[in-house]
Structure 1
Amino acid sequence: MVVLLPPSVDLRSAWLEAHAEWGPGHHEDGFGLLETDDIRTPDGFRAFVGRLIAAESTPGARGGTYRWIAEDGEILGGIALRHENARDVDVLGHIGFGLRPSARGRGIAASALMDMLSVAKAVGMNRVLLACFVDNLASVKTIQHCGGMLDGTVMTDSGEVGRYRIVL
């Protein structure tokens, strides 16, 4: 059974396994990973997890809720909710998610997104914005399956991004 778990240092090995499957870099959407995070050392990983946990109780521009998508002790991906007034929400959207390649195509992202929409509603949000590249058909279909309506597109240095709204 797929569940959303709060970040935990106890899941370090499983998290690093998921991270390794993506390949080098800091590109896993939903994990809240920054280039400055030192995830290779136990102390660095503890600081990374601490930052994610602290974001949940932080109001304003840095507030957010991070969850790891897990099944049978394996980390499959991550999903993040940027709270209403979070920085860069107009560009990144309120919710970002990503699955490791071996977990894709099973409906896991849609299930995680539906769960995170419930969290958004519980923290008082009445709508969310999601953004993804228009050629990322899996994410587009996931967002639309969960009620996302295209609000428009914008060109970025990395390509065309679709902006989707979901009313809660």
Structure 2
Amino acid sequence: MPLKKAAITLVIPNAELLPGYADALRQGWSPNTMVDVSADELAAVEADPQAFLADLTSPGGVIRHADGSETPRLPSRLFWISDGAFCGAIGLRFQPGTEELPHFVPGHIGYSIVPWKQRRGYATAALALILPIARAEGLTRVVVSCDADNEASEKVIVANGGVLIGDVPHDPETGKPKLIFRIAT
């Protein structure tokens, strides 16, 4: 008998799923696919769980780049991916009034699924769920990138209507080549 696939939902980071988030961090999962932030995030969760959740969802703040420089955080919408338990994270970054992004932002949408939930369609479902949210923010199309050697992520993007529009031979943050896609919302 085939297993029934759990419904995937996007939820605002919350105290109920925070233990699952912390467990994923303990196992080495990172919500940031460009830099492993698992140890720093776990320390923040353990120091003050409520402050950690507030920081995740608050506007403002700064982003530190690989070269040590800092820039203001773009407006964003962050969600945790859930099937009843924590499965990963997906975020939407944007600049109000334009579909353009600053040169240091690799795409409007970024996502990361915990390893034990990968290859089950979770990322594909989560990306499909965030596209209407991007549309509600005024974006008629979004840019999504992935490492050129990440076939699984490329399939997720293409399954959601992604059209390859170019590549970056040497990403300044990771040093890896990236593929750039556009998806209509």
> Which residue pairs with 1:63 in the alignment?
75
**Which residues of structure 1 form unaligned runs of 5+?**
none
Structure 1 contact 80–96 (Cα < 8 Å) conserved: yes
Structure 2 contact 31–112 (Cα < 8 Å) conserved: no
1: distance between equivalents of 2:103 and 2:125? 22
1:128 aligned to 2:132? no
What's the RMSD between the two structures over aligned residues? 2.7
Q: Hey, which bits of structure 1, 4+ residues long, moved more than 6 A?
A: none
**Which residues of structure 2 form unaligned runs of 5+?**
1-6, 61-71
* TM superposition shift of 1:11: 2.1
> Which residue pairs with 2:50 in the alignment?
46
Match runs of 1:1-168 below 5 Å = 1-21=7-27, 23=28, 26=30, 28-29=32-33, 37=41, 38-43=43-48, 45-55=49-59, 61-72=73-84, 74-84=85-95, 88=102, 91-154=105-168, 155-156=170-171, 157-168=174-185
**3-state SS of the aligned residue for 2:164?**
strand
The 3 A distance-change label for structure 1 pair 128 and 34 is farther
Number of aligned positions between the proteins: 159
The 3 A distance-change label for structure 1 pair 67 and 27 is closer
Which residue identity does 2:55 align to in structure 1?
R
Using structure 1 for the length normalisation, give the TM-score: 0.81
Larger helix proportion of the pair: 1
**3-state SS of the aligned residue for 2:138?**
coil
Using structure 2 for the length normalisation, give the TM-score: 0.75
1: distance between equivalents of 2:38 and 2:139? 25
Identity of aligned residues (%): 29
Pick the structure with greater CA Rg: 2
1: distance between equivalents of 2:77 and 2:8? 18
Structure 1 contact 91–131 (Cα < 8 Å) conserved: no
